[in-house]
Structure 1
Amino acid sequence: MGRRGGAGTIIAIATVGLFLGGCATFSKDGGMTLVADQTGAIVGTAALKIRNEADAAAAHARVTALIATPLTVNKAVEIALLNNRALQAAYNELGVSETELVEASLPPAPSFSLVHLTGAELEIERQVTQNILALLTLPRRRAIAEDRFKVAQARAVQATLSTAWEARRAYYRAVAAAQTVTFLEQSRISAEAVSELAKKLGETGAMPKLEQAREHAFYAEVVGELATARLRQRSEREALNRALGLWGSDLTYRLPNKLPPLPSSPRTMADVETQAVTTRVDIQIARMELAALAKEYGLTHATRFINTLEASGVDRNEIRQGERTPRSGYGLTFEIPIYDFGETKTRRAEETYLRAVNLLIDKSVNARADARQAYQAYRGSYDIARYYEKTVLPLRDTISEQTLLNYNGMLSDLFGLLTDSRDRIAANQRAIEAKRDFWIAEADLHAATTGGGGLSGGPSGQTQANAQSE
């Protein structure tokens, strides 16, 4: 009877563990279906996790096909989501979180011990021990792990959005830099032709040295601006390479000659603050973390008086002078925090929860401010870019035409013509920058209302100041 009692205890402990543990397995998609659905709805391109060499080969083939033709902003985003290894590392973090979920869903493994003592008598003891407290709290710990896994999914969405918005910003900066180089190259060719003409006229005595020097100085200034623009172009293209994760032979991709045209009218958002608070991924993450902390606080409060509770089944055989005496039974081990009665753990959990509450409120306030700032920058940069396009550049074209006619009719001197050329170059450069700032502001507005990174800073102060001076 005694041996059956000990074996029965062992079987009972194992049965309880199997009953509470259930069947914990890994999901087929590793949690990526939800990530792909949410990111696809926001950026138009679904997230994809590269799990093996076949996935990597398929992703590289897709990237090769995308860079075969001039890049659009949507192509750039797709390349970034396929090719950015930091983003793939974020998806691996999601896989790690799933392993933690499966691990938290499993019952604690029992420990087995075997004692063999010899001397005047022989004793053999077998013992199995199970953490009963861990078994009893398994459903709660599993629920907490499920919440943590949902947080990991949201973080994967956030990383995807951040990669997408940064790719858009880098794309617009690179295209704007290339457009500026193209424009200045055209200006350099014209300035060089005029400089050469001035040199020949000077050799014949038809143009004074002062006028020649002005032409040569203007040409030198344009060459200097072009060199600066080319340096900026290389820097912005490298930033785009980094955002897209491209290297080697993939760096030969082509960009369009100019930025896309402005939309016919800007977006109108009646309540941008509410949209940001209800849809931003980082706010959702903070809410889910708060829910998980609430469950952890409840678990800590429930176990504050008992830290450890273990049950053991014991079988012992004593052999003395050829006689065998079997013994069996059970044991209980528990630890009681007699010095603080769990107050330390409870207070720590309470303060951790309250800290998360305050951080959530702070994040919500900042999200509202980000949304307002992003929308103001979006509308302001649109108005500035449209003003340059519809007002400043047409006026500059008219001034250039009239100045050239006056110069050809000997009604104005060369100094006026050079001044107009400088102003025209500056106005076109600022128009390119204004349009670039608008498209970056649009990406910032998406980031401010959906999550995935902070603001880039909005339109440059120089662009706004130039617009006001115009």
Structure 2
Amino acid sequence: MTHYLARGLLVFAAFGLSGCMAFSPDAGMTTVSDFTSRTINKDVAFVRSAEGAASVEARVRQLLARTLSADAAVQIALLNNKGLQATYNELALAETELVEQSLPPNPVFSISRITGNGASEIERQVVGDILALATLPFRSEIARDRFRQAQLRAALATLRLAADVRRAYVRTVAGNEMVALLTDAKATAESTAQLAVKLGETGSLNKLDQAREQVFYAETTADLATARQSATSAREKLARLMGLWDDGLDFRLPNQLPPLPRRPQSLPGIEADAVAHRVDLQIARLELTALAKSLNLTEATRFVTLLDLAGISRRTQDPEGPPFRERGFDVQFQIPIFDGGEVRVRQAAETYNLAFNRLTERAVNVRSEARDAYRVYRSSYDIASHYQREIIPLRKIITEEMQLRFSSMQVDIFALLTEARQRLASLRGAIDAKQKFFLAQSDLQTAVNGGGAPASGGENSTTIAAAAPADGGH
């Protein structure tokens, strides 16, 4: 009897051990690391030990020792952001699901003894799920696709964080630049307002002109307070994204945004690049593949939902005779009288069609997003460049000429001050235009590689925002 049960266990185990998988040493992070390095040229780290945490901390301190560039801020966030680390933990959990799905089901061993009226019966049996064994290769293949999706989702979260950090960095530096400009403007406006009051006391300036100077000072003061508030909030957001606190909050930033590139990028094939490289589209393609495999699996097992093979060894003790053993097997299956599997097949087919239509819709949207992002990028560059090459130089000439005329008493102080206000408006416009350009540059990278905000309506495993096949086919 024992030999019989052991042999049954061995046969059952051998049936599925060929599909077993082991845990990877890095919890699937190699794919995330390679993708991030190839896409945005940055490093990632999954902190799982004290040594790893110490290494990350040393790297962050090294980067914080210098004035932060946008690239350095992104690198700090990718190493130090705890929310991203939690995403990598989810990837590690997804690997456990992959390993679990690759293992054959555990056999169930049971023993029972029944006595009564002087007789006793001992029954031992080992039960295995034959259907689970038969479908193990299919389930393992689907689980591998799901794990690949989890890896790409982790890469998507990494790109999303990098894009958020770049935007926060641009807004913070531009905000500081605006604060510096308005601080100087406020000092000038304050001196002018005081001068207007003195001239009004002597009768050299009427009340209308006095009110104009005073309101300009008041408006500049309010603008400066607003700019300081925005810059402070932007810096706090940047600190949050980089995962900094306490001593790390005193990081240094440049006084102004970097100069514009000499020429904008030319991307005639941006739609093809977006379809080929967008990580969310790669996730969607894998989702559609997994659904197709699930549909095939449903059709293959539609008439068998439960099939157990039980190896039985029974020993009966009768007081009036010698004990005897019974051996054999017991097969149980569900008879499809009321539900022949059509419901599950229809559900699987409609789920697949739903995902395919979402996929196609997203493909159209991605192409549109890429085109629009490039148009915004080019127009933002043209506007910022127009300020830098035309408006600001002309304003400088006007200011110099007005100062010469004021020195020769051809114009009065108020004409000079009027020109100063106009120059301030141009400088503010130039800062805003440069900020929009660098934000558009980040959005362009996001449109090509992925990492933007989640699609409206949310995502799930069957209706995740998707794209068409890589060749843009039908």
The question of a shared fold, defined as TM-score above 0.5 by the shorter chain, is answered with: yes
Aligned to 1:427: 426
Please state whether the residue corresponding to 2:113 is helix, strand or coil: strand
Letter paired with 1:264: R
Aligned to 1:324: 323
Superposition pairs of residues 157-236 of structure 1, within 5 angstroms: 157-199=155-197, 211-236=209-234
Deviation at 1:175, TM superposition (A): 0.3
Name the CA shift for 1:74/1:4 in 2 (closer, same or farther; >3 Å).
closer
Deviation at 1:201, TM superposition (A): 5.4
Superposition pairs of residues 352-371 of structure 1, within 5 angstroms: 352-371=351-370
Letter paired with 1:371: A
Q: 2:19 touches 2:140 (CA, 8 Å); kept in 1?
A: no
Please state whether the residue corresponding to 1:146 is helix, strand or coil: helix
Percent pairwise identity: 48
For the residues of structure 2 that align with 1:55 and 1:201, how far apart are their CA atoms?
Answer: 69
Name the CA shift for 1:336/1:419 in 2 (closer, same or farther; >3 Å).
farther
Q: 2:46 touches 2:88 (CA, 8 Å); kept in 1?
A: yes
Aligned to 1:292: 290
Deviation at 1:314, TM superposition (A): 0.7
Q: How many residues align?
A: 453
1:118 corresponds to which of 108, 111, 115: 115
Deviation at 1:62, TM superposition (A): 1.7
1:143 corresponds to which of 131, 141, 144: 141
Aligned to 1:463: none
Deviation at 1:46, TM superposition (A): 2.0
Deviation at 1:245, TM superposition (A): 2.0
For the residues of structure 2 that align with 1:281 and 1:5, how far apart are their CA atoms?
Answer: 53
For the residues of structure 2 that align with 1:6 and 1:38, how far apart are their CA atoms?
Answer: 50
Cα-to-partner distance string for 1:228-287 (whole Å, 9 max, x where unaligned): 111111121122122222222211111100000000000000111111111111111111
Deviation at 1:400, TM superposition (A): 1.9
For the residues of structure 2 that align with 1:66 and 1:341, how far apart are their CA atoms?
Answer: 64
For the residues of structure 2 that align with 1:223 and 1:364, how far apart are their CA atoms?
Answer: 49
For the residues of structure 2 that align with 1:5 and 1:83, how far apart are their CA atoms?
Answer: 57
For the residues of structure 2 that align with 1:156 and 1:214, how far apart are their CA atoms?
Answer: 57
Superposition pairs of residues 381-460 of structure 1, within 5 angstroms: 381-454=380-453
Q: 1:195 touches 1:216 (CA, 8 Å); kept in 2?
A: yes
Aligned to 2:130: 132
Letter paired with 2:366: A
Please state whether the residue corresponding to 1:118 is helix, strand or coil: strand
Deviation at 1:197, TM superposition (A): 4.4
Q: 1:70 touches 1:253 (CA, 8 Å); kept in 2?
A: yes
Letter paired with 2:96: T
Matched, 1:102 2:62: no
Matched, 1:73 2:70: yes
For the residues of structure 2 that align with 1:47 and 1:11, how far apart are their CA atoms?
Answer: 44
Matched, 1:243 2:241: yes
Q: 1:6 touches 1:328 (CA, 8 Å); kept in 2?
A: no
For the residues of structure 1 that align with 2:216 and 2:367, how far apart are their CA atoms?
Answer: 49
Deviation at 1:386, TM superposition (A): 0.2
Q: 1:218 touches 1:418 (CA, 8 Å); kept in 2?
A: no
- Range that drifts further, 203-212 or 48-57: 203-212
For the residues of structure 2 that align with 1:14 and 1:395, how far apart are their CA atoms?
Answer: 83
For the residues of structure 1 that align with 2:86 and 2:336, how far apart are their CA atoms?
Answer: 42
Name the CA shift for 1:4/1:179 in 2 (closer, same or farther; >3 Å).
closer
Q: 2:9 touches 2:107 (CA, 8 Å); kept in 1?
A: no
TM-score (norm 2): 0.91
Please state whether the residue corresponding to 2:116 is helix, strand or coil: coil
Name the CA shift for 1:201/1:283 in 2 (closer, same or farther; >3 Å).
same
For the residues of structure 1 that align with 2:331 and 2:123, how far apart are their CA atoms?
Answer: 17
- Range that drifts further, 210-219 or 153-162: 210-219
- Range that drifts further, 240-249 or 358-367: 240-249
For the residues of structure 1 that align with 2:403 and 2:454, how far apart are their CA atoms?
Answer: 44
Deviation at 1:334, TM superposition (A): 1.2
Aligned to 1:462: none
Aligned to 1:152: 150
Q: 1:374 touches 1:441 (CA, 8 Å); kept in 2?
A: yes
For the residues of structure 1 that align with 2:78 and 2:42, how far apart are their CA atoms?
Answer: 8
Deviation at 1:422, TM superposition (A): 1.6
Q: 2:112 touches 2:122 (CA, 8 Å); kept in 1?
A: yes
Name the CA shift for 1:186/1:4 in 2 (closer, same or farther; >3 Å).
closer
Cα-to-partner distance string for 1:97-130 (whole Å, 9 max, x where unaligned): 1001100010000111111111120111111100
- Range that drifts further, 37-46 or 9-18: 9-18
Q: 2:380 touches 2:437 (CA, 8 Å); kept in 1?
A: yes
For the residues of structure 2 that align with 1:455 and 1:428, how far apart are their CA atoms?
Answer: 35
Name the CA shift for 1:397/1:82 in 2 (closer, same or farther; >3 Å).
same
Aligned to 1:337: 336
For the residues of structure 1 that align with 2:59 and 2:3, how far apart are their CA atoms?
Answer: 66
Letter paired with 1:66: L
For the residues of structure 2 that align with 1:401 and 1:92, how far apart are their CA atoms?
Answer: 61
Q: 2:104 touches 2:136 (CA, 8 Å); kept in 1?
A: yes
Name the CA shift for 1:59/1:9 in 2 (closer, same or farther; >3 Å).
closer
Q: 1:447 touches 1:455 (CA, 8 Å); kept in 2?
A: no
For the residues of structure 2 that align with 1:447 and 1:7, how far apart are their CA atoms?
Answer: 58
Aligned to 2:459: none
Which runs of no fewer than 5 residues in structure 2 stay unpaired? 456-474
Superposition pairs of residues 38-49 of structure 1, within 5 angstroms: 38-49=35-46
For the residues of structure 1 that align with 2:168 and 2:328, how far apart are their CA atoms?
Answer: 71
Deviation at 1:404, TM superposition (A): 2.8
Please tell me the root mean square deviation across aligned C-alpha atoms, in Å: 2.1
For the residues of structure 2 that align with 1:214 and 1:404, how far apart are their CA atoms?
Answer: 21
Please state whether the residue corresponding to 2:323 is helix, strand or coil: strand
TM-score (norm 1): 0.91
Deviation at 1:211, TM superposition (A): 4.7
Aligned to 2:254: 256
Aligned to 1:346: 345
Q: 1:6 touches 1:329 (CA, 8 Å); kept in 2?
A: no
Please state whether the residue corresponding to 2:315 is helix, strand or coil: strand
- Range that drifts further, 282-291 or 399-408: 399-408
Deviation at 1:15, TM superposition (A): 3.2
For the residues of structure 1 that align with 2:454 and 2:436, how far apart are their CA atoms?
Answer: 12
Q: 1:444 touches 1:454 (CA, 8 Å); kept in 2?
A: no
